[in-house]
Amino acid sequence: MSYVKNLYRDEIRDGWLVMSDIKKVWNRQLEIVAEVDRICRKHNITYWINYGTLIGAVRHKGFVPWDEDLDLCMMRPDYNLFLKVLDELNEPFQLKERLYGLLQISHSQTTMLDYTYLENKPQEIAIDIFALDIVDDKTPEGSSSYRALDELLTAACNYPKIIRYVQNGGRLLNDLQVLAAISKADEEQKLDILELYADALWGQSSLVAWIQDTLNKVAKPFRKDWFSETIYLPFETIELPAPKMFDEVLTAYYGDWRTPVHDGKNRMGNFHSADIPWREFSSRIDVPKFLEQMLSKTSAD
* Residues 255-287 pLDDT 10s: 999 988 776 565 555 688 888 998 888 889 888
- Distance from chain centroid for Cα 275: 23
Quick one: which of 40, 39, 66, 43 has its CA closest to 55? 66
Pairing, β 102-107 against β 126-134? antiparallel
What sign does the CA torsion over 36, 34, 68, 65 have?
negative
Which one is predicted more confidently, 116 or 220? 220
Q: What pLDDT, in 10s, does the model give residues 86-118?
A: 999 999 999 999 999 999 999 999 988 876 666
pLDDT of residue 19: 81
pLDDT of residue 294: 72
CATH 3.30.460 in the chain, residues? 11-133+208-300
Quick one: which of 217, 89, 70 has its CA closest to 130? 70
Q: What architecture is domain 11-133+208-300?
A: 2-Layer Sandwich (3.30)
Is the pTM higher than 0.85? The answer reads: yes
CA dihedral 137, 138, 141, 147 (to 10 degrees): 80
pLDDT over 70, % of the chain:
89
Q: For all residues of the chain together, what is the average pLDDT?
A: 89
- The 3-class SS string of 257-292 reads CCCCCCCCCCCCCCEEECCCCHHHHHHHCCHHHHHH
- Distance from chain centroid for Cα 198: 17
